[in-house]
Amino acid sequence: MRLVKLLANLGYGSRKEMQLAIRNGWVTDRDGNRLKPDSKTAHEDVLFDDEPLDPAQGVVLLLNKPVGYTCSTKDHGRLVYDLLPDRFRTRKPALSSIGRLDKETSGLLLFTDDGTFLHKVISPKSNVPKVYELALDRPLKGDEAALFASGEMMLESEDRPLKPAQLEVLDDTTARLTLHEGRYHQVRRMFAATGNHVAQLRRSRIGALGLEGLAEGEWKALSDNEKAKIFA
């Protein structure tokens, strides 16, 4: 791909702006040689303003989402995209979140520009477990784990029972729940159906991938090994 198009697709600016950036000498190889608009230098050898380029198409990002951010590109208030560099909003192909977390849920959120990868993660066939840590307003009654594991639990206004989910009780009001699907507000609705209320909710794992030491609000691009952990 021509350098101008590559940079524009990564969201660094319009093609016109990228032509100017190249003419101004802001785009070089690792030896500091200025590159030309039609240069075919390999992605990993191009520097923009002395910095390596953002990951190429096929990227998967991991974000530790704080509470208070909405998974949307154009809602009111704070958006998860505000936590990523601005240019990521104009990448082509576009970055989308893989599934969503509620505004009041924190933790592990993935983004990708690779539609095939996105579908593989959310496909029922992949059966990827998602692990949530939660705190409840009221003590657990003791029968929740059996209900959630039954494969027969119905949520209001749905016509299919939930897949079996595993509840690990940590103490009276805290627990870890593993789901193998992702229905709307699923964790909150499951506990609401038992007469309880989820006060805090954090997703800690998808497959065998955890937050990998990321602080809240931080993100990183996943390596191939880390991507593979999702399906491990």
Stretch that binds ligand URA, among 28-36, 150-158, 181-189, 206-214 (CB under 6 A): 181-189
Stretch that binds ligand URA, among 45-53, 101-109, 116-124, 133-141 (CB under 6 A): 101-109
Q: How far is the CB of 132 from ligand URA (least distance, A)?
A: 6
Q: How far is the CB of 104 from ligand URA (least distance, A)?
A: 8
DSSP secondary structure letter of residue 61: E
Q: Does residue 185 interact with ligand URA by CB under 6 A?
A: yes
Peptide bond into 93 cis (omega under 30): yes
Which residue in the block uniquely carries the two structure tokens 């307003």? 137
Q: How far is the CB of 172 from ligand URA (least distance, A)?
A: 20
# chain residues binding ligand URA, by CB under 6 A: 8
Do residues 203 and 134 make contact, with C-beta atoms less than 8 angstroms apart? no
Neighbours of 167 (CB within 10 A): 19
Quote the tokens at residue 116.
């095939």
C-beta of 91 vs 202, nearer to ligand URA:
202
Q: How far is the CB of 47 from ligand URA (least distance, A)?
A: 38
Q: Interface residues for ligand URA in 187-206 (CB under 6 A)?
A: 187-188, 201
Strands 27-29, 51-52: pairing is unpaired
Stretch that binds ligand URA, among 22-30, 38-46, 97-105, 214-222 (CB under 6 A): 97-105
The C-alpha atoms of residue 217 and residue 199 are separated, in whole angstroms, by 20
Give me the catalytic one of 102, 143, 159, 171.
102
Question: Which residues, other chains included, contact 44 with Cβ-Cβ below 8 Å and sequence gap of 6+?
Answer: 52, 53
* Residue 1 three-state SS: coil
45 is catalytic: no
Q: Does residue 186 interact with ligand URA by CB under 6 A?
A: yes
Helices (H), 30-99: none
Residues labelled as active-site residues: 102
What residues make contact with ligand URA under the rule CB under 6 A?
101-102, 105, 185-188, 201
